[in-house]
Amino acid sequence: MAVMAREAWTDERLDDLKENVNQRFDDVDKRLDQVDKRFDRVEAEMKAGFERIETKFDGKFDSFQTELNSRFESLQRTILIGFCTMSASIIGALLATQL
């Protein structure tokens, strides 16, 4: 008889646990729905921000890219001239000390 009472108690506890687990999963589902809404809002804000950026640079990107390329070319030219000047200075100093 003791075994029978214990099985009945276990079955009742399992039923209680099942209900508790189901309730907790329902709570998690509600929280995930809130998270989904937040992500949707963030995604919409990002999309709006990217659209503003695109309209800001609409037609200006080509000129911006050309200007950026010219600045890099100018920087390369300056670095090359500086390298040549330093190399000539070092070679001149070596020649002057050897003579």
Q: For residue range 4-31, list pLDDT tens digits in order.
A: 555 555 777 777 777 788 888 888 999 9
Structure confidence at residue 6 (pLDDT): 52
Q: Which amino acid is at 39?
A: F
Q: What does each C-alpha distance from 27 to 10, 31, 34, 41, 80 come to in angstroms? A: 25, 6, 11, 22, 66
CA atoms within 13 A on the CB side of 57: 10
Please give the DSSP secondary-structure letter assigned to residue 4. Answer: H
Structure confidence at residue 59 (pLDDT): 66
Residue 37 tokens read as: 């809404």
3-state helix, strand, coil split of the chain in percent (to 5) is 95, 0, 5
For residues 37-43, average pLDDT: 93
56-93 tens-digit pLDDT: 777 666 777 888 899 999 999 999 999 999 999 999 99
For residues 43-61, average pLDDT: 83
Q: Which helix (H) or strand (E) holds 58?
A: none
Q: Where do the domains of the chain lie?
A: 1-56, 60-99
Structure confidence at residue 56 (pLDDT): 76
Integer Cα distance of 58 and 85 in angstroms: 42
Integer Cα distance of 48 and 42 in angstroms: 10
pTM for this structure? 0.39
Look at residue 25 and give its three-state secondary structure.
helix
